[in-house]
């Protein structure tokens, strides 16, 4: 998956804001999800959100992750009551 991620980074132009060294931030224990949420609230289109979206897309298409992203069980909505 990481080779695919690197290929996407080379092929597609991400926005240049903010310029972050994600590896360095992660090494220092920064909560990247919280940072991404804060950045997305400030500016919807940002480099960290784009990176997260690529990782999620790549994770979703892997067959070994199928059960994490797709629910095959039929469920009745919580608010619905049959007659």
44/12: higher pLDDT: 44
79 versus 3: the higher-pLDDT residue is 3
All structural domains of the chain with their residue ranges: 2-13+20-68
Number of Cβ within a 10 Å radius of residue 17: 13
pLDDT tens digit sequence for 31-83: 999 999 999 999 988 989 988 888 888 888 888 888 887 777 776 666 666 65
Token pair, residue 76, equals 């009745």
Q: What is the pLDDT of residues 16-35, one digit of tens each?
A: 878 888 889 989 999 999 99
Alpha-carbon distance of 38 to 61, in angstroms, equals 27
């Amino acid at each position: 998956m990481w080779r695919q991620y690197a290929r996407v980074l080379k092929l597609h132009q991400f926005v240049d804001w903010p310029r972050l060294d994600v590896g360095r931030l992660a090494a220092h224990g920064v909560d990247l999800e919280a940072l991404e949420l804060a950045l997305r609230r400030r500016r919807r289109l940002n480099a960290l959100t784009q990176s997260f979206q690529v990782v999620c897309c790549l994770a979703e298409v892997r067959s070994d992750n199928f059960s994490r992203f797709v629910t095959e069980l039929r469920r009745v909505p919580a608010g619905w009551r049959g007659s």
